[in-house]
Amino acid sequence: MEVDREDGRSQNQLRPLACSRNNLHRAHGSASWSQGDTKVLAAVYGPKAGTKKNENPEKACIEVIWKPKTGQIGKLEKEYEMILKRTLQSICILTVNPNTTTSVIIQVANDDGALLPSAINAACMALVDAGIPTRHLAVSICCCVARSGLVVLDPTKLEEQKMKAFAYLVFPNSVHSVLPEGSPSGQGEPIQNGIITSVTHGIMSVDDYFYCLERGRAASTKLSDFLRKNLQQQSTDSSKAG
């Protein structure tokens, strides 16, 4: 059973991805990520000295500021800031620069569905651009569950509103290992199967959710390859003199 999508994509097809790094010159790291019409800019400043009041000074601290395209900052922005902060805290190596703060600023340029996943992807690219030490990167995808039970990837805003439920999933990126024993794993599964973050919206059955996870993992492999290609290309392009 096929689902008709307005832009003619198949259910597993992602929108055209585009990203670029080093857009902003004052920021220590910056990236712009777009999936179809959704476009997000991320900038990273840091590490800066000192941590905020309630934070642990033995570790590096990450601060996220989310700026919407229009309107005032409300609960939605605060929630996205918290989710992004906790996701980035889990991928950064916080013990390398203790008692410092790294600020990640997200500016929404256009919202056409899958906003939080795009922001997470942009923030990871910006962290790499700034040279913040990370354990691995996070790739993020949005999976929607249609009323018929089919899972559709990377919805537009209209599709998100029409569907029964959707889930934003964040996985670690896939690992290409030169070691013969392969990639590190936890609990017998490869590391890219673990979920860093999951935020769901709407009612779905438990089986629908596990189905979303499977599709999300498959798509995250594609996204990881895109990220890897993009980062390798840009690092050979940029001149050493800076």
Partner 1 sequence: MGLPNASADLSTEVEVDAFRRLFPLRFFEKHLLESIRPDARPLGRARDTTIALGAVASANGSALAKIGSTTMLAAIKMEVMTPSMETPDEGCIAIDFHMPPICSPIVRPGRPAEAAPVVAKQLSDTILSSGMINLKELSLVSGKAAWMAYLDIYCLDADGALYDAALLAAVAAFSHLEIPVVSLNDDGKIVLSEEQGLSDNDPVNKEKRKVNLGSIPFSLTCILHKNYILADPTAEEESIMETSVTVVLDTSSQLISLYKPGGAVLAYTSAIQDCIALTRPRVKELQKILEEAVSGMEVD
Q: Distance between CA atoms of 206 and 141, rounded to whole angstroms?
A: 19
Binding residues for partner 1 (CB under 8 A): 54, 74-76, 78-79, 82-83, 85-90, 167, 170, 172, 186-187, 189, 191, 193-206, 208-210, 213
Token digits for 43? Answer: 């900038």
Residue 110, judged by CB atoms within 10 A of its CB (0-12, 13-18, 19+), counts as: middle
Q: How far is the CB of 181 from partner 1 (least distance, A)?
A: 19
Q: How far is the CB of 211 from partner 1 (least distance, A)?
A: 12
**CB nearer to partner 1: pick between 31 and 196:** 196
Q: How far is the CB of 218 from partner 1 (least distance, A)?
A: 14
**CB nearer to partner 1: pick between 54 and 236:** 54
Q: Distance between CA atoms of 138 and 136, rounded to whole angstroms?
A: 7
Nearest to 15 by CA among 38, 39, 36: 36
**CB nearer to partner 1: pick between 220 and 230:** 220
Token digits for 86? Answer: 């906790």
- Around Cβ 170, how many Cβ atoms within 10 Å? 25
**CB nearer to partner 1: pick between 51 and 197:** 197
Q: How far is the CB of 60 from partner 1 (least distance, A)?
A: 14
